[in-house]
Chains A and B, each alone.
Chain A
Amino acid sequence: MKPLKIAMMGMTHGHTRKYYQTLLENQKLDWVAACAEDEEAKKVYELYQTGVPCYLDPNEMLAEHPEIEAIVLASANNRHFEQMKFCAERGIHILSMKIPTFDMEEYDKMIDLVDAAGVVCQIELEMHYNPVVRRLREIIEGGRLGKLKSIQATNITLSPVWAFPWQGSPEASYGKRIPLQDGSGRFRGGALCDHPHIFDLVRWITGADFQEVYAQTAPNLRPELQVEDMVLATGKMTDGTAFLFDPSWSRLEERLKVPGPGWEVFPKRMEVNLTITGEKGMLQCDCFGPNVYHNGAPNDRYTVQYTYFDEWIGLIDEFVDCIRNQKTPKINLRWHRKTIDFMNKCYDSIAAQAPVRIE
């Protein structure tokens, strides 16, 4: 198979660096260029010494590399529409970060753009390529838990805002400045926006859609943030499965400009755990564990050394397969729309301080 000529754009997203090894090692890919949002993003990119040239102007990148077939949009949420349009208009396939946009009108325009261009647009939801999740799905689909009754899930992390400031900006993260409630000094765009995975997973696992939700925030752990950092949501799916999600930034961090060793204060900086109760039994699942542990440099704190973290390999494999074999990715814009819409409903519930029914 001819290697896919691929580029990256933005380089300001927290997941940017997770692509480097896969893009360099996978023989199905030829990573030819990167285009940073600004000088600062370019400087950070250059720290990783990938050997792949980095530009500041996407037009210049394409002029130098007209062979580019696909681009990973590793940028702030409010940059995605413009960048997707840029790609679609040029017939370039797109790998978008996990939140294409929270503006549902803009979201529908993205679908139209991609459809009109006939390009592949895959959304990066890496849990689909996690081996523990694969086993979890096999257990559930094999009927071993029977009909599901309840799913509790965490997607809790440290806050990335100090390294990726756009994630603390209501406009850059949520797309606009909307107070969490009337008169609130906090705005949409925080931890909830960072953690769509469990919302997506529960749809995937149950095969059902969301029916209702009640969500609420807590006082921020980081009072200086303009966006929420602690949030809970509970509700029901259309098949009757109850859920309770914690998508918070509940693990404190050292305020590093560039993520690296010593970032975490709490030993495990990122957790996706599920507890699932069915009519025939119960299951507990840690999608990122067990690991290796240490209390060495730089901070001598007990720390989880993430040991199995390969989701980007499978994700990229699927992207290439979809492009080369004219397939639709599992996580495409249409599939993901209901998840994004539901996350907005969580914000609506927070604003109303009341449950919201999904029509």
Chain B
Amino acid sequence: MNKDMNEFLRKLCEKYGVPCGKIFPKDSRWAVELPSGECAALLPHRVERRFVELKKLVDTATLEEVSTLRFANFQAGGPLKELLARELDLAAFLAESPIVSLFATGDAATVCNTIVRFQDGKSGCLECGTALPESQKSMDRHELIARRGVASDRAVDTQVPQDSIYLWTGNGNETYTDTDLELYGLPDEELTAVRAAFALLKQPALAAEWNRAAETADKLSALALRSAETSSFFSGKEIC
């Protein structure tokens, strides 16, 4: 764990007059200890700006009557279960409805394709994989399809994520995407974890909700992998 994370968190809390806490690694994700002593799982994707904006498009009725969520996330290595848990929670968060059934295919080791149903009837799919060659940046896409409007974190007519800066030199090609001047210098994953901790510290009432959501996501993720291994469809009590 980068010790700078807690230093950045301290500075943010001081700047905005929020009582500070401490980030620490717990199981497969980050957690934060709140001033009350309570610990909460961090769900950084819930405060990641592109997802905040997607949710805003739903909440402000820019999109009307969302029907389907199409997500994809491919990474270079790492546990597939964690990747799935993140995407499953993000799906439920953006759908604003819990997942009530799922069916998955894949080798359950490096790939898993999951179709889910949300309680309010929406449908969703998650294409997840960890087989990208080492050192490749993640490739993901999150699309909300509604009766009025489609929203996505990827631009039309592009297959891969875009960056803010493309640099071509004799040493090869590099890309950069910096999104947060207050936390400038932190790697993306740690930056969003600090933002998530800050969100919880600002609004400690979220802690219980996030802990429940993390537990649910872990359970769904395990079920998705089991579904892929056994061709089983899960719904009802098995999920809830």
How near does chain B come to A41, taking the closest CB pair, in angstroms? Answer: 25
Type the 1/0 row for A116-150, where 1 means its CB is closer than 8 Å to any CB of B: 00000000000001111011100100001100000
Smallest CB gap from A130: residue in B: B181
Measured in the bound complex, the distance between the Cα atoms of B169 and A144 in whole Å is 8
Instruction: Answer whether residue A302 sits at the interface, using C-beta atoms and an 8 A cutoff.
Output: yes
Instruction: Answer whether residue B165 sits at the interface, using C-beta atoms and an 8 A cutoff.
Output: yes
Given A290-B162, A296-B63: A134 and B15 within 8 A (CB)?
Answer: no
Enumerate chain B residues within 8 angstroms of A300, measured Cβ to Cβ. Answer: 148-149
Residue from B64, B148, B155 whose CB has the most chain A CB atoms within 10 Å: B155
Enumerate chain B residues within 8 angstroms of A307, measured Cβ to Cβ. Answer: 49-50, 53, 179
Taking a contact as CB atoms under 8 Å apart, the answer to whether B50 and A294 are in contact is: no
Type the 1/0 row for B5-30, where 1 means its CB is closer than 8 Å to any CB of A: 00000000001110000000000000
Type the 1/0 row for B53-73, where 1 means its CB is closer than 8 Å to any CB of A: 110110011111000000000
Given A132-B178, A134-B178, A261-B62: A281 and B151 within 8 A (CB)?
Answer: no
Smallest CB gap from A274: residue in B: B165
Enumerate chain B residues within 8 angstroms of A335, measured Cβ to Cβ. Answer: none
Measured in the bound complex, the distance between the Cα atoms of B180 and A314 in whole Å is 10
Given A294-B62, A297-B62, A313-B181: A27 and B16 within 8 A (CB)?
Answer: yes
Q: Which residues of A contact B (CB under 8 A)?
A: 25-28, 129-132, 134-136, 139, 144-145, 261, 280-287, 289-297, 300, 302, 305, 307-308, 310-311, 313-314
Instruction: Answer whether residue B36 sits at the interface, using C-beta atoms and an 8 A cutoff.
Output: no
Measured in the bound complex, the distance between the Cα atoms of B50 and A282 in whole Å is 28
How near does chain A come to B201, taking the closest CB pair, in angstroms? Answer: 14
Instruction: Give the number of A-B contacts (CB < 8 Å).
Output: 130
How near does chain B come to A307, taking the closest CB pair, in angstroms? Answer: 5
Taking a contact as CB atoms under 8 Å apart, the answer to whether B153 and A292 are in contact is: yes
Checking B148, B176, B178, B184 against A296 with a beta-carbon cut-off of 8 angstroms, the contacting residue is B148
Beyond the given A134-B184, A294-B151, A314-B181, please list 14 additional residue pairs across the A-B interface where CB-CB is below 8 A.
A131-B178, A132-B177, A261-B60, A281-B167, A283-B166, A286-B165, A290-B153, A292-B151, A292-B153, A296-B150, A297-B61, A297-B64, A305-B62, A310-B182
Closest 6 CB pairs of A and B: A296-B149, A281-B169, A294-B151, A131-B178, A296-B62, A27-B17
Enumerate chain A residues within 8 angstroms of B163, measured Cβ to Cβ. Answer: 290
